[in-house]
Structure 1
Amino acid sequence: MDVDRPGPGEELNDGEVTVPRQAATVIVLRGGAQTLEVLLVQRNPAQRFMGGAWVFPGGAVDAHEGEGDSAHRAAAVRELAEEAAIEGVDPAQLVRFSQWITPPEVKIRFDTHFFLTPLPDGAQPRIDGDECVDLGWFTPQAALAAHADGKLLLVFPTIKHFEQLSPFASADELLAFATGREVVAVTPRVVMSGEQARILLPGEPGYDAAPAAS
């Protein structure tokens, strides 16, 4: 994927590689056996990191939440309540879907664990108006189309997740696929060609030949 400039919060690093901070994100689903819609929240455009971008609710793991899988699950549930006012999600029932580590070439880095959960019965998502200023439900195809039309600002990991979600016809089908599935960490690489940055995923041509970040 070629980009003319880094997205918000994706500025390239010209110094030592940053140690990624642990983080968790929740992909909230609705639609049951009928369809698949996903919740996105829009980050406040005034924020330095990913300002204006539409993202899945999530954030960094706090120190008091500990380490390991339980810490990621605790952070996921906390962030879901803080950013979208969704309560009642059991951390143990979250379904692991993916793990993305920000490229070493990027300044601000996270080791993010993505979880799936159906929207709890009776939950009514709402934004806090501070960190997040809007929200919406999108089918994966509609989100990608809106981004292509310049109507929805999505960052690279969100785009790639929607591409992964697109083949699934319903929320139930996606949850059945993901439950018990092995999750392998993905670390994209950024390769510069003049003023243009190319983001490569493992297995793509040139990924293994990309120069190591210093």
Structure 2
Amino acid sequence: MLVRDGANGPEVFLQRRVDAMAFAAGMTVFPGGGVDASDAAAEIGWAGPDPVWWGARFDTDPERAQALVCAAVRETFEECGVLLAGPTADTVVSDTSVYRSARERLERREVSLSQFLAAEHLVLRADLLRPWANWITPVIEQRRYDTRFFVAVLPQGQLADGATSEAREVRWCTPAEALDRWHDGLDVLLPPTWSQLVALSEFGSTAEIFAAEAEIEPIMPVLPAEGGSRLEFPHNERYFADLPDPSRLRGSR
């Protein structure tokens, strides 16, 4: 979840996925993606909390934690051009356009994140990320994911864009605006995305968001044992109460 301070409070960067995607087609989501085998590479310039720290927060081993952090940095760069890395442990790049070619090669899997960072003499800034949540796809879904959510503040000078094959459109908006768009039928939000937007809407600045210490408990929505079609998850009553009427949904996505 990429955030920045706006005139009306914190804003979050959102993408509407293209309709051809195998999972969550047409949905409005945060930038993200899967962990690649190369994300677990041990040789990488690293600044900030180490993999042991991340493993403790996400309840996993350090090797997996490193892969998760690397995947978050890589996918954020691939999908919106924001790079959480810098020449030194206390700096961050301000203009990522000079890495446009490398970004395209990363997306095509021609180079790994560690190879890219080494070639450009950059250090991954793990301290520019914070752990936020962990949602697991319900067992009723054919495609299942164990998803860790991160939060990061847009580095000064960098711009988030929509130059990715996976997004049909992108926008910055406050969490409240995003929730209003969903309620009005303009966007479709899966429960995990909705839940994070609700949480972010409680903060008055990106500094407050970044300073928050989220309690991360794995959440896997389930169908009630007594039967029914509505998944159970934290605050699901509010989600389904605010769910837009199908007649108000936009005709195309």
What band does the TM-score fall into relative to the shorter chain? 0.7 to 0.9
Q: Which residue identity does 1:92 align to in structure 2?
A: A
Query: Any stretches of 5+ residues in structure 1 without a counterpart?
Result: 1-26, 206-214
Deviates more, 1:54-63 or 1:39-48: 39-48
Equivalent position of 2:205 in the other structure: 170
1:189 equivalenced with 2:222 (yes/no): yes
TM alignment of 1:31-46, pairs within 5 A = 31=5, 35-46=9-20
CA contact (8 A) 2:136 2:220 kept: yes
Q: Which moved more, 1:42-51 or 1:32-41?
A: 32-41
Query: CA 1:40–1:204 in structure 2 vs 1: closer, same or farther (change >3 Å)?
Result: closer
Q: Which residue of 2 aligns with 1:153?
A: 188
Deviation string, structure 1 residues 178-206 (Cα, Å, up to 9, x no partner):
3xx44221111134988x6211126989x
Contact 2:80/2:164 (<8 A) preserved: no
Kindly indicate whether structure 1 or structure 2 has the higher relative contact order, using CA contacts under 8 Å at least 6 residues apart. Answer: 1
Matching of residue 72 in structure 1 with residue 46 in structure 2: no
Bigger share in helix: 2
Long gaps (5+) in structure 2: 41-62, 86-123, 238-253
SS at match of 1:31: strand
Residues of 2 paired with 1:49 and 1:190: CA distance?
A: 20
- Deviation string 1:34-91 (CA, Å, 9 cap, x unpaired) is 7211001111122221111111000110112224111000000110011111123444
Query: How many corresponding residue pairs?
Result: 176
Secondary structure of the corresponding residue to residue 60 of structure 1:
coil
Q: Quick one: distance in 2 between partners of 1:155 and 1:203?
A: 13
Change (3 A) 1:32 1:96: farther
Query: Which structure has the greater CA radius of gyration?
Result: 2
Equivalent residue runs for 1:70-109 within 5 Å: 70-89=66-85, 90-93=124-127, 94-109=129-144
Q: Secondary structure at the match of 2:188?
A: coil
Could you tell me how far 1:167 is from its partner in structure 2?
Answer: 1.3
Aligned partner of residue 199 in structure 1, secondary structure? coil
| TM-score normalised per structure 2 | 0.63
TM-score, normalising length from structure 1?
0.74
The residue number in structure 1 matching 2:24 is: 50
Q: What is the RMSD of the two structures over their aligned residues, measured on CA atoms? A: 2.5
Cα separation, 1, equivalents of 2:223 and 2:34? 23
* % identical aligned pairs: 36
